[in-house]
């Protein structure tokens, strides 16, 4: 009898998307709230968040600075030793954070092909954020930070029925 209960619970767990989801969050009614792939712990107090919106895949590059630097405009990304690629600018979110710091989160529209390149990249990934200062702000991450990106894409497509 215990084996039957164990098998039943295992089947329920495997068939229940909210229980087995790693990247997608659900509300109390079991509907998808969001699917996000977060990369934190980068140098220079920055984060990268990849999500799916009604307009397609987006990459949010977040930086924490002492003063606003007004990141706005087309972004660029360098994957490994490949040439720079442009990212279509959507918007920037700004806020003041605890400790009198500032947060700027630039949102870019990206292709699924670019996401696969990130997941399979070698070396370093650099994201260049256009700032109103004389030079770009750069977020640097190792390719290993994107190692589970393919699983995130697959889960997002399965959950959202893309």
Which residues, listed in sequence order, are joined to residue 97 by a DSSP beta bridge? 101
Say if 15 falls within a structural domain: no
| Spacing of C-alpha 116 from chain mean position | 13
pLDDT value of residue 44: 73
**Residue ranges of the chain whose pLDDT lies below 50:** 4-20
Rounded distance, CA 11 to CA 5, Å?
Answer: 10
Residue 59 is assigned to a structural domain of this protein:
yes
Q: Which domain holds residue 76?
A: 22-160
Distance CA 30, CA 62 (A): 29
112-119 and 149-160 helices, crossing angle to 10°: 140
Residue 16: inside a domain: no
Distance (Å, rounded) from C-alpha 97 to C-alpha 108? Answer: 22
pLDDT at 137: 86
* Residue 34 included in any domain: yes
* pLDDT of res. 6: 44
The CA distance from 21 to 160, in Å, is: 12
User: 9 lies in a domain?
Assistant: no
Structural domain includes residue 13: no
Can you name the residues that pair with 95 across neighbouring β-strands?
103
Q: Measured over all CA atoms, what is the biggest interatomic distance in the chain, rounded to whole angstroms? A: 71
d(CA 24, CA 41): 21
Q: What is the pTM for the complete model shown?
A: 0.80
Is 8 a member of any domain? no
Report the chain's mean pLDDT, rounded to a whole number. Answer: 82
- Structural domain includes residue 134: yes
Q: State how many domains the chain has.
A: 1
């Amino acid at each position: 009898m215990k084996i039957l209960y164990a098998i039943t619970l295992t089947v329920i767990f495997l068939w229940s998307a909210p229980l087995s989801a790693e990247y997608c969050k659900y509300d109390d009614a079991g509907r998808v709230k969001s699917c996000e792939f977060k990369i934190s712990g980068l140098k220079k107090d920055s984060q990268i968040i990849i999500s799916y919106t009604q307009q397609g895949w987006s990459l949010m590059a977040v930086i924490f600075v002492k003063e606003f630097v007004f990141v706005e405009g087309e972004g660029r990304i360098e994957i490994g030793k490949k040439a720079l690629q442009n990212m279509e600018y959507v918007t920037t979110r700004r806020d003041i954070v605890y400790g009198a710091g500032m947060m700027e989160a630039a949102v870019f529209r990206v292709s699924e092909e670019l996401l696969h390149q990130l997941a399979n990249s070698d070396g370093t990934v650099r994201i260049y954020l256009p700032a109103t200062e004389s030079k770009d702000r750069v977020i640097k991450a190792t390719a290993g930070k994107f190692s589970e990106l393919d699983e995130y894409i697959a889960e997002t497509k399965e959950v959202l029925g893309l």
